[in-house]
């Protein structure tokens, strides 16, 4: 049986998971692809500090000795970060080696450069594990849906945020309390900013958006909000209105300005651009994504031919990520065996690709919570401001029996441009009867 040699750089959670998975299922992998994938070297930061029971004959400290070894055909970059990892990947690609990575931050920051380097040097670059762990969403977008225009893609792609929001809904718990539990259980880092402020989800959705629409999406063009300001009260009122709040990563074609009745413009097959964003979203509780709970991930894809598809599973962790890396190792080994240097290209411009639109132009419906003094005329003043900016109100929840006191006032708004709604809320926040900052959560009805 033919053998290809792999070098692993990084022996942390993912690196050790990949090595252990190969030890467990390497024979199965070989029997399925007809090639033995053997680990020849593993680069670690410090041999003295390495507590692994892996044979010391495999371990080295200098990652260059892995990349430069002519007997190593595949380099698995599993160190994380976007600095040293970039150097590793570029060095390996320059030598024409196949590269496998699980590094979403690296691809988000330097993807355009790395894919260009792979093309220039005739090398293959694999990154299935960079988005949603063990869920095969990269290969599905590149290959499974190659004959589809991707109309929309919605992802619950950060397990930490999904775990927090799930517990807040089920237990009526406060954000800070659940976050503390998530950190204690290892679901959230300390500090947790990368997850709860939306950065991790933005890294992932940028990669998926680039694949779906054929041009590299600059991370700076992705609109991002996290879940820090979501309260148990927001979740409670959303539930009363038939909605569940999720941190949703969205990629969606936009055809033109909306009316109060519909988020879509008519009469054009070519979009003005695409929406690429991450923010807390109220979604119908009847939708399949609303039932994705705890630390699980899911990606809902709508293609113009295939229709709606759902990908669900564990989006992070040692074993799910290792599973995705093994898939890429198998693909890399097969491509080496048959001399294939030309997989489906990651970024092929489409005839109507457009560009990423600024958030002010994005249209959606809205959930708005205000804290107001309950006195006659309050609702009328607020409604007048919305009406003055051509923003329609679909429903209002106003608790009774608290005249003169500060109470929550909930609005569901019709479809409107984000810029108009933000302008309205800025005016509303200046009213003497409004206390504190208005809370706005966008609504997605998957229309």
Number of domains in the chain: 3
- Boundary (domain end) residue, out of 252, 281, 314: 314
Distances (CA, A) of 196 to 137, 164, 282, 297, 356: 23, 9, 17, 15, 23
Alpha-carbon gap, residue 411 to 414, rounded angstroms: 10
The pLDDT score that the predictor gives to residue 127 is 96
The pLDDT score that the predictor gives to residue 414 is 97
Same domain, 219 and 307: yes
- Candidate list 41, 104, 204, 246, residue with the active-site label: 204
What is the CATH number for 62? Answer: 3.40.50.720
Give the residue among 226, 234, 217, 215 at the shortest CA–CA distance from 172: 234
The pLDDT score that the predictor gives to residue 258 is 45
> Is residue 354 domain-resident?
no
Same domain, 310 and 182: yes
Alpha-carbon gap, residue 136 to 246, rounded angstroms: 22
Same domain, 192 and 256: yes
Taking residues 431-440, report their average pLDDT: 96
Alpha-carbon gap, residue 428 to 432, rounded angstroms: 9
Same domain, 246 and 329: no
Instruction: Assign 132 a pLDDT band (cuts: 50, 70, 90).
Output: very high
Same domain, 122 and 174: no
Active site residue 260: no
Same domain, 199 and 286: yes
- Tell me: cis bond preceding 246? Omega within 30 of 0 counts: no
CB burial class (10 A; 0-12, 13-18, 19+) of residue 373? middle
Report yes or no on whether pTM surpasses 0.85: yes
Alpha-carbon gap, residue 157 to 216, rounded angstroms: 19
Taking residues 10-31, report their average pLDDT: 96
Same domain, 307 and 391: no
What is the separation of C-alpha 251 from the centre of its chain, rounded to a whole number of angstroms?
Answer: 10
Position 261 pLDDT exceeds 60: no
What is the CATH number for 422? Answer: 3.30.70.260
Taking residues 389-409, report their average pLDDT: 83
Same domain, 106 and 177: no
The pLDDT score that the predictor gives to residue 447 is 83
Same domain, 300 and 333: no
Alpha-carbon gap, residue 274 to 361, rounded angstroms: 11
Taking residues 128-137, report their average pLDDT: 96
Tell me which residue has tokens 């041009």: 215
DSSP one-letter code for 356: B
Sign of CA dihedral 380, 382, 383, 388: positive
> Is residue 220 domain-resident?
yes
Name the pairing type of β-strands 243-254 and 273-284. Answer: antiparallel
> Is residue 342 domain-resident?
no
The pLDDT score that the predictor gives to residue 123 is 95
DSSP string, 248-262: EEEEEEE-S---SS-
Distances (CA, A) of 22 to 37, 329, 403: 8, 10, 67
Residue 212's domain comprises 157-314
Q: Encode pLDDT of 204-247 as tens digits.
A: 999 999 999 988 999 999 999 999 999 999 999 999 999 999 99
Cα distance between the two ends of the chain: 52
């Amino acid at each position: 049986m033919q053998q290809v040699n792999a070098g692993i750089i990084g022996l942390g959670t993912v690196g050790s998971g990949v090595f252990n998975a190969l030890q467990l299922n390497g024979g199965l992998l070989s029997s399925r692809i007809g090639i033995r994938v053997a680990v020849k070297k593993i680069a670690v930061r410090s041999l003295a500090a390495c507590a692994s029971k892996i044979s010391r004959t495999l371990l080295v400290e200098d990652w260059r000795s892995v990349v430069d070894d002519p007997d190593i055909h595949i380099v698995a970059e599993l160190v994380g970060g976007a600095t040293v990892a970039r150097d590793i990947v570029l060095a390996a690609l320059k030598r024409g080696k196949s590269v496998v990575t699980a590094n979403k931050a690296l691809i988000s920051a330097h993807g355009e450069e790395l894919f260009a380097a792979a093309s220039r040097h005739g090398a293959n670059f694999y990154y299935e594990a960079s988005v949603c762990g063990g869920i095969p969403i990269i290969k599905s977008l590149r290959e499974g849906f190659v004959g589809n225009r991707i109309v929309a893609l919605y992802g619950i792609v950060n397990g930490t945020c999904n775990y927090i929001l799930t517990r807040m809904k089920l237990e009526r718990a406060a954000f800070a309390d659940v976050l503390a539990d998530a950190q204690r259980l290892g679901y959230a880092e300390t500090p947790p900013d990368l997850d709860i402020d939306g950065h991790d989800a933005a890294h992932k959705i940028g990669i998926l958006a680039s694949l779906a629409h054929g041009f590299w999406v600059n991370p700076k063009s992705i609109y991002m909000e996290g879940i820090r300001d979501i309260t148990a009260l927001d979740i409670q009122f959303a539930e009363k209105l038939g909605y569940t709040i999720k941190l949703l990563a969205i990629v969606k074609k936009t055809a033109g300005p909306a009316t109060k009745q519909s988020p879509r413009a008519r009469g054009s097959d070519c979009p003005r651009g695409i929406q690429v964003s991450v923010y807390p979203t109220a979604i119908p509780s009847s939708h399949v994504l609303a039932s994705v709970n705890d630390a699980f991930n899911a990606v809902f894809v709508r293609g113009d031919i295939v229709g709606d598809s759902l990908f669900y599973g564990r989006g992070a962790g040692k074993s799910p990520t290792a599973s995705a890396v093994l898939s890429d190792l198998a693909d890399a080994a097969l491509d080496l065996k048959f001399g294939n240097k030309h997989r489906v290209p990651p970024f092929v411009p489409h005839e109507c690709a457009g560009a990423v639109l600024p958030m002010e132009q994005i249209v959606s419906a809205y959930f708005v919570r205000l804290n107001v003094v309950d006195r006659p005329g309050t609702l009328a003043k607020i409604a007048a401001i919305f009406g003055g900016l051509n923003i329609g109100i679909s429903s209002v929840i106003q608790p009774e029996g608290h005249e003169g006191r500060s109470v929550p006032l909930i609005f569901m708004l019709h479809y409107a441009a984000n810029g108009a709604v933000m302008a309205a809320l800025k005016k509303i926040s200046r009213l003497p009867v409004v206390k504190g900052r208005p809370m706005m959560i966008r609504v997605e009805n998957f229309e």
